[in-house]
Structure 1
Amino acid sequence: MSATSRHDPGARGLSRRGFLAGTGTVLGAAALGGLSASRASAAQRSTPISNGAHVQALIIGTGYGGSVAALRLAQAGIAVEMIEMGMAWDTPGSDGKIFCNLTSPDQRSFWLRTQTKQPVGYFLGIPIDRAIPNYTGILDAEDFAGITVYQGRGIGGGSLVNGGMAVTPKQENFGAILPSVNPAEMYNVYYPRANAGLGAGVVPQSWFTKTDWYQFARVGQKQAGRSGFPFQFVPDVYDWNYMQQEDAGTVPKSALGQELLYGNNYGKKSLQKTYIPAALATGKVNISPLHKVTSVSPASGGGYTVLMNQLDTSGNVVVTKEVTADKVVFAAGSVGTSKLLVQMRDTGQLPHLNDQVGQGWGDNGNIMVGRANQIWDPTGSKQSTVPCGGIDNWTKGGAFAEVAPLPIGIETWASLYLSITKNPHRAQFTWNAATQKVDLSWQLAWKQDGITMAKSIFDKINSTEGTIYRTDLFGSYKTWQDQLTYHPLGGAVLNQATDNYGRLTAYPGLYVMDGALIPGNTSVNPFVTITALAERNIENIIANGG
């Protein structure tokens, strides 16, 4: 089946036995470093899929796992249709920019909300969220009982809205993250492949030590050292050469212009600049933005029937479409994939999915906190939005703390941190027949374990520095931001809900390829692990079928 036949309702392509064509192509191309062969715009191949179309491979989602799968399948000669609930993010707004910044959020900032819901929602105890028009914006703050899950919406998924910290876990911690995966293969092959594909790099030390824009991080580094904690510089997917040019005033400011959480216009190497354009350059990938998959079920003639709604920018359904696909890859993120699979199992579309589907969900132990520094430790009115290091107390205290910026343009004498903790609690997704929605069994009280682990770092630093916690950033007299996660993980755990490579074995041709495979924690920021695991899994699936 050729790429030109992807919209032919009568076409039938791959055998149900597996992705067998072109295996040598994908395995040979897999080692491409940096994916620099293409910088094609996502707009070039973001044509809405036709009702009644038949496709070889349909991928639900365009985040890390989905983008890896699209590239490697396309390199193997397989036509791919990517379905994305969010926008293409390729058209500038009235201000000439595609994305808005942190301090001036507008309708582009949040997914179908009429008021922002910022992670740091207060300053001096005063609410700073603001009214915005209802719009299919870039950041989804999805509310469940006890927790808000932040997720990216658009072509590129979470890569559009995260801090870009491309952290590979320490190998000694890997067995607790993915016990059924060979660590040697991950650290010798797939982590290096992922980091090369993502374009990860560490902040240049000669610039870091002198620039005003990382004074906040230098304060964090100094204070960690004085309390006996290792400070680790970690890679990021920002273009550090561009950031230095921002500092010099020779290019438009991006990370130095308060851009990150609601997208970054210039310097960040999101998936829009790495895996996705490389996939599009094969000529075998099409992307349908503003399409939401609602159902997947076996088709009478083989393959799978996929129902989806095309949305407008107010979230209204424009048209409902039915397409068929030989293979379907679930890559809608931990929450999106888990919700869809649980719903399909419990409403009868995919009744043979096992009882592990929906299990093992965690928040990567996310806890935010701020500290009030002494007046001789200012953190700077200039702050890059891109974090570049963290404080490691994982072995002794169960916490790794990203030294985060608070880039509001004034001196605050505040240090802000996003902690990843070894929180043991795991929640379950369940179908609620009464509400016709999927619920999550997370309990706010479970965050206390994460708070205790984070305190293993910050109580010590406060004691050493003679400082206190800020209580004005997350509410009035609220110290800990314990009602969110940036790092949803689990819900379709590898080798439990799936086989050891992401196959949903009850349904040949269905796969999971995202953070849903990882049981709740990665000990660090998770997207490099999600990318590396997807590289591993899709290579096996293409080589061996199934």
Structure 2
Amino acid sequence: MVDNQHLSRRRLFGMAALSAAALAGATTISAAPRAAAAGKAVAGGTFVPAVVIGTGYGAAVSALRLGEAGVSTLMLEMGQLWNQPGPDGNVFSGMLKPDKRSSWFKTRTEAPLGSFLWLDLANRDIDPYAGVLDRVNFDQMSVYVGRGVGGGSLVNGGMAVTPRRSYFEEVLPQVDAAEMYDRYFPRANSTLRVGNIDKKWFEETEWYKFARVSREQASKAGLSTTFVPNVYDWEYMKREAEGSVPKSALDAEVIYGNNHGKVSLDKSYLAAALGTGKVTIETLHQVKTIRQQKDGNYLLTVEQKDADGKLLATKEISCRHLFLGAGSLGSTELLLRARETGALPNLSSEIGAGWGPNGNIMTARANHMWNPTGTKQSSIPALGIDDWDNPDAPVFAEIAPMPAGLETWVSLYLAITKNPQRGTFVYDAAKDRADLRWTREQNAPAVAAAKSLFDRINKANTTIYRYDLFGKQLKAFADDFCYHPLGGCVLGKATDDYGRVAGYKNLYVTDGALIPGSIGVNPFVTITALAERNIERVIKQDVVAK
């Protein structure tokens, strides 16, 4: 109870710091009396005891626990702080009429559902801007990531799922599962403020008719469904339905950010981290290179830009302890660049390996005219089809909304499958970026598993697939993009069993890059819990001990 009270107080202090930064239009966020408290000037730049790159799940955990341990910590975030309303009075743009706030330096939005009746109705031409959602396009796979203080928590559906213990043990056998499920998963869920939907309200409300329809159809095929916890405030959603508060989930907001209701990281871990008075966040700061100095400290070259992409300054920041929490793509790219350019030549050949899209496959079914899904649909999923025990084709399928504001008779799903295929990142010197070696053929096992599940549902309900939602071609399964990038710096291979990068002291990976390509459910709770486990050991043995 005392720990929770301390965390709540820190969160309040942190929220005040975030609000003050927004009002001032500042790119430096700190609850300390002086914003420069995290570092001190040294010859050629700034020295900070600890730097955390990124502000996503693993990064936020690391910063909070370092701050609690009394370690002055600087977080470097390439995106911006999202809590200042735009001209329309909203922080984020809506999903149905997106503007430049929606996308990271694009000239046109790139929504996952790119068409309806093969017409591109979802996307809009926009001005390039430091928006909240990025689609990183590789040759045969695209990856959606969040940009801003809070990373992916700003743009995901908030589904806070703890993986099946047996599969966790299969994926990460070197991690003590009893410790994870007894201590770190509960800690992560508590700090993330995960909650459960009121089941009675779910059964009654028109906003989840789409999910009840899919549940009934799955049941006819002999499949079971399960309610899924979420970081969205369910009580707030009920008030949205009553009309007593501004709508967010019930106003088709999710992939471009929720203006209300969702407890993203800036309202949980990051707010608490700032509340320690030891953590500072610099926004619109992108780390470009990492190298090690003769004294063993790390020197970062950092570009500061404005929200329109104009370069404002190039800085050098040094630190004793460096934590990479820039996500599977970002952390892997930084280390690959460092290895291949000779800046950190002793990095393992395992850097870049073991990547996967968590078996993500999207698909949709066409319902009969007498079985509508509803014109009102909450954007926050609440149910999943759980067929993970199927020995031939394990699938966990999120029952996803399609909040178009009109009747579509569409049932939409994000299937998470057990695909053993793995990709590899390689450094492209000409482009100065990590390139993903992954083919569409590698997604064939995932498509086959999803098809096996939904063929059963279609057969039981005499329905068919929708072929018009994923571009101009006839396509029932979207296998060319993912929401859950995992791997690239795999735990126990590119790092030790606690995220320490092989070959270098005081260098750590603390995000989804540690998980080898698959975890069987939406991964952010696992990333958070694993980061809790790792940072506890690192602080005890590497930071405080010294």
TM-score band by shorter chain is: over 0.9
1:317-367 Cα offsets, whole Å, 9 max, x none, are 221100111111000000000011111011011111111111000000100
CA contact (8 A) 1:331 1:513 kept: yes
Partner of 2:263: 269
- Per the TM alignment, residue 44 of structure 1 is displaced from its structure 2 partner at its CA by 4.2
Inter-partner Cα distance in structure 2 for 1:494 and 1:423: 19
Report SS of the residue matched to 1:319: strand
Inter-partner Cα distance in structure 1 for 2:425 and 2:214: 37
Partner of 1:12: none
1:197-250 Cα offsets, whole Å, 9 max, x none, are 111111110100000100011111111111111101110001011000000000
1:162 aligns with 2:159: no
Q: What is the TM-score with the length of structure 1 in the denominator?
A: 0.93
1:498-519 Cα offsets, whole Å, 9 max, x none, are 0000001421111000000000
**Structure 1 segment 441-456 matched on structure 2, within 5 A:** 441-456=437-452
1:447-506 Cα offsets, whole Å, 9 max, x none, are 221110001210000000000000111123221111101000000000110000000142
Matching residue's letter, 1:452: A
Equivalent residue in structure 1 for 2:49, among 52, 56, 65: 56
Structure 1 unaligned segments of length 5 or more: list them. Answer: 1-27
Equivalent residue in structure 2 for 1:468, among 441, 459, 464: 464
Partner of 2:494: 497
Partner of 2:517: 520
1:107 aligns with 2:100: yes
CA contact (8 A) 1:65 1:514 kept: yes
Report SS of the residue matched to 2:289: strand
- Per the TM alignment, residue 124 of structure 1 is displaced from its structure 2 partner at its CA by 1.1
1:354-407 Cα offsets, whole Å, 9 max, x none, are 111110000001000110011222111000000011111122122111000000
Partner of 1:319: 313
CA contact (8 A) 1:34 1:274 kept: no
1:289 aligns with 2:286: no
1:339 aligns with 2:333: yes
Matching residue's letter, 1:47: T
Inter-partner Cα distance in structure 2 for 1:35 and 1:110: 33
Inter-partner Cα distance in structure 2 for 1:158 and 1:459: 32
Q: What is the TM-score with the length of structure 2 in the denominator?
A: 0.93
CA contact (8 A) 2:301 2:317 kept: yes
Structure 2 unaligned segments of length 5 or more: list them. Answer: 22-26, 30-35
Matching residue's letter, 1:441: R
**Structure 1 segment 226-265 matched on structure 2, within 5 A:** 226-265=220-259
1:457 aligns with 2:453: yes
Inter-partner Cα distance in structure 2 for 1:59 and 1:433: 25
When structure 1 is superposed on structure 2, of 227-236 and 44-53 the one drifting more is 44-53
CA contact (8 A) 1:35 1:274 kept: no
Equivalent residue in structure 2 for 1:145, among 139, 142, 145: 139
Inter-partner Cα distance in structure 1 for 2:99 and 2:280: 29
1:401-456 Cα offsets, whole Å, 9 max, x none, are 10000001001110000011111111111112333322110111212211100012
CA contact (8 A) 1:36 1:274 kept: no
Cα gap change, 1:172/1:191 in structure 2, threshold over 3 Å: closer, same or farther?
same
1:233-285 Cα offsets, whole Å, 9 max, x none, are 11000101100000000000010011111011110010011001111111111
Matching residue's letter, 1:56: P
Equivalent residue in structure 1 for 2:8, among 36, 55, 61: 36
Matching residue's letter, 1:191: F
Inter-partner Cα distance in structure 1 for 2:316 and 2:285: 12
Partner of 2:402: 406
Partner of 1:362: 356
1:58-92 Cα offsets, whole Å, 9 max, x none, are 00000000000000000000011000010111211
1:168-209 Cα offsets, whole Å, 9 max, x none, are 011121112212101100100000000001111111101000
When structure 1 is superposed on structure 2, of 467-476 and 514-523 the one drifting more is 467-476
Inter-partner Cα distance in structure 2 for 1:34 and 1:155: 23
CA contact (8 A) 1:34 1:199 kept: no
Inter-partner Cα distance in structure 2 for 1:393 and 1:274: 32
- Per the TM alignment, residue 35 of structure 1 is displaced from its structure 2 partner at its CA by 4.1
Inter-partner Cα distance in structure 2 for 1:381 and 1:33: 42
Inter-partner Cα distance in structure 2 for 1:459 and 1:99: 38
Cα gap change, 1:43/1:308 in structure 2, threshold over 3 Å: closer, same or farther?
farther
- Per the TM alignment, residue 524 of structure 1 is displaced from its structure 2 partner at its CA by 0.3
Report SS of the residue matched to 1:189: helix
Inter-partner Cα distance in structure 1 for 2:6 and 2:329: 29
The alignment's C-alpha RMSD in Å is: 1.6
Partner of 2:84: 91
Report SS of the residue matched to 2:8: coil
Report SS of the residue matched to 1:126: coil
Cα gap change, 1:34/1:230 in structure 2, threshold over 3 Å: closer, same or farther?
farther
Inter-partner Cα distance in structure 2 for 1:465 and 1:249: 35
Inter-partner Cα distance in structure 1 for 2:116 and 2:429: 41
Cα gap change, 1:288/1:425 in structure 2, threshold over 3 Å: closer, same or farther?
same
Matching residue's letter, 1:409: G
Inter-partner Cα distance in structure 2 for 1:387 and 1:350: 43
Partner of 2:24: none
1:307 aligns with 2:301: yes
CA contact (8 A) 1:55 1:325 kept: yes
CA contact (8 A) 2:348 2:502 kept: no
CA contact (8 A) 2:395 2:453 kept: yes
Inter-partner Cα distance in structure 1 for 2:326 and 2:51: 12
The number of residues matched between the two structures is 518
Equivalent residue in structure 2 for 1:532, among 529, 540, 546: 529
Partner of 2:33: none
- Per the TM alignment, residue 286 of structure 1 is displaced from its structure 2 partner at its CA by 0.5
Matching residue's letter, 1:290: L
